[in-house]
Amino acid sequence: MTDHTITFLSDDVKNTVLVPTGTLLVEAARKSGIEVGQPCGGQGRCGRCAVQVTGGNVRRRSTLRLSKEAIEQGFALACQSTVEGDLNVYIPPQEKIERRLATDRTVTDISVPIGYNIQSAQTLQRIHLTLSPPSTEDQTDDWSRLKTALRLQGIEEVTCSLGLMQKIGSLLREGDWQVSALIDTFPNDRTIPARLITLDPEHITDEEPLWGIAIDIGTTTVTLWLVELISGEVRVQVAEYNSQIARGEDVISRIIFASKNNGKEEMRERVLETINNLLDLACKRANTLPDQVKKATISGNSTMIHLLLGIPASSIRLSPFITTANHMPPLSGREVGVNIDPDGTVDCLPGVASYVGSDITAGVLSSGIDTAERVTLFLDVGTNGETVLGNRDWLVACACSAGPAFEGAGVLHGMRATIGAIEEIWVNSKTYEPTYRVIGGGKPRGLCGSGLISLLAELFLTGVLDKAGNYDLELDSPRIRQGEHGAEYVVAWGKETVDGNDIIFSRVDIDNLLRAKAAIYAGFTVLTDQVGVKLEDVNQVLIGGSFGKYINVEKAVQIGLLPDMPWERFDFLGNTSVRGAYYALLDWHSRQRIKEIANRMTYIELSANNTFYDGFMSAMFLPHTDMSRFPTIEAVMNKM
Q: Yes or no: say if 630 and 564 are a contact pair by the CB < 8 Å rule.
A: yes
Nearer to a second copy, 352 or 427 (CB): 352
- Residue 320 lies near a second copy (rule: CB under 8 A): yes
Q: Which of 111, 119, 136, 205 binds a second copy (CB under 8 A)?
A: 136
Q: Which of 3, 35, 98, 157 binds a second copy (CB under 8 A)?
A: 157
Binding mask 86-125 toward a second copy (x if CB under 8 A, else -) reads ----------------------------------------
- Residue 599 lies near a second copy (rule: CB under 8 A): no
Q: Which stretch binds a second copy (CB under 8 A): 39-47, 77-85, 157-165, 388-396?
A: 157-165
H-state helical runs in 411-463? 449-461
Q: Fill in the DSSP letter of residue 426.
A: E
Q: Which stretch binds a second copy (CB under 8 A): 83-91, 107-115, 324-332, 426-434?
A: 324-332
For Cα atoms 483, 478, 449, give the angle at the middle one, nearest 5 degrees: 65
Longest Cα–Cα distance in the chain: 102
- Ranges of beta strands (E only) in 144-230 are 158-159, 178-184, 194-200, 211-217, 221-228
Strand-pair partners of 436: 425
- Residue 135 lies near a second copy (rule: CB under 8 A): yes
Least distance in angstroms from the C-beta of 315 to a second copy: 5
Which phi and psi (to 5°) does residue 444 adopt? -80, 150
Q: 3-class DSSP state for residue 5?
A: strand
Q: Which stretch binds a second copy (CB under 8 A): 287-295, 320-328, 589-597, 626-634?
A: 320-328
Instruction: Identify the CA nearest to 595 among candidates 188, 11, 18.
Output: 188
Q: Yes or no: say if 403 and 449 are a contact pair by the CB < 8 Å rule.
A: no
Instruction: Identify the CA nearest to 331 among candidates 240, 430, 195, 217.
Output: 195
- Residue 329 lies near a second copy (rule: CB under 8 A): yes
Least distance in angstroms from the C-beta of 162 to a second copy: 5
Q: Which stretch binds a second copy (CB under 8 A): 48-56, 84-92, 215-223, 310-318?
A: 310-318
- Residue 205 lies near a second copy (rule: CB under 8 A): no
Binding mask 349-368 toward a second copy (x if CB under 8 A, else -) reads ----xx--------------
Q: Yes or no: say if 298 and 348 are a contact pair by the CB < 8 Å rule.
A: yes
Q: 3-class DSSP state for residue 338?
A: coil
Least distance in angstroms from the C-beta of 336 to a second copy: 8
HSE-CB at 455 with a 13 A cutoff on CA atoms is 33
Q: Is the dihedral of CA 45, 51, 53, 58 positive or negative?
A: negative
Q: Quote the crossing angle between the two packed helices 588-600 and 358-367, to the nearest 10°.
A: 120
Q: Which stretch binds a second copy (CB under 8 A): 40-48, 69-77, 316-324, 431-439?
A: 316-324
- Residue 191 lies near a second copy (rule: CB under 8 A): yes
Least distance in angstroms from the C-beta of 326 to a second copy: 5
Q: Which of 219, 221, 326, 366 binds a second copy (CB under 8 A)?
A: 326
HSE-CB at 24 with a 13 A cutoff on CA atoms is 17
Nearer to a second copy, 137 or 207 (CB): 137
- Residue 141 lies near a second copy (rule: CB under 8 A): yes
Least distance in angstroms from the C-beta of 331 to a second copy: 6
- Residue 511 lies near a second copy (rule: CB under 8 A): no
Least distance in angstroms from the C-beta of 607 to a second copy: 7
How many angstroms separate the first and last alpha carbons of the chain? 68
- Residue 143 lies near a second copy (rule: CB under 8 A): yes
- Residue 190 lies near a second copy (rule: CB under 8 A): no
- DSSP letter string over 170-195? HHHHHTTTEEEEEEE--TT-TTSPEE
Nearer to a second copy, 200 or 605 (CB): 605
Least distance in angstroms from the C-beta of 290 to a second copy: 20
CA–CA separation, 391 vs 231, rounded Å? 31
- Residue 607 lies near a second copy (rule: CB under 8 A): yes
Nearer to a second copy, 592 or 602 (CB): 602
Burial of residue 117 (number of CB atoms within 10 Å: 0-12, 13-18, 19+): exposed
Measured CA to CA in angstroms, residue 297 lies from 348, 396, 532, 577 at distances of 6, 24, 36, 11
Instruction: Identify the CA nearest to 48 among candidates 72, 77, 13, 74.
Output: 77
Nearer to a second copy, 201 or 312 (CB): 312
Q: Which of 310, 342, 368, 463 binds a second copy (CB under 8 A)?
A: 310
Nearer to a second copy, 2 or 135 (CB): 135
CA–CA separation, 388 vs 399, rounded Å? 9
- Residue 154 lies near a second copy (rule: CB under 8 A): no
Least distance in angstroms from the C-beta of 192 to a second copy: 8
Q: Which of 331, 503, 518, 551 binds a second copy (CB under 8 A)?
A: 331
Q: Which stretch binds a second copy (CB under 8 A): 11-19, 21-29, 132-140, 627-635?
A: 132-140
Q: Which of 1, 114, 162, 640 binds a second copy (CB under 8 A)?
A: 162
Q: Which stretch binds a second copy (CB under 8 A): 73-81, 224-232, 388-396, 603-611?
A: 603-611
Strand-pair partners of 543: 379, 572
CA–CA separation, 37 vs 406, rounded Å? 20
Q: Which stretch binds a second copy (CB under 8 A): 82-90, 283-291, 330-338, 528-536?
A: 330-338
How many positions of this chain bind a second copy (CB under 8 A)?
A: 47
Nearer to a second copy, 73 or 166 (CB): 166
Helix, strand, coil fractions of the chain, as percent rounded to 5: 35, 25, 40
Instruction: Identify the CA nearest to 46 among candidates 94, 98, 100.
Output: 94
Binding site for a second copy (CB under 8 A): 134-136, 139-144, 157, 159-160, 162, 165-166, 168-170, 173, 191, 193, 309-312, 314-315, 319-329, 331, 335-336, 353-354, 603, 605, 607-608
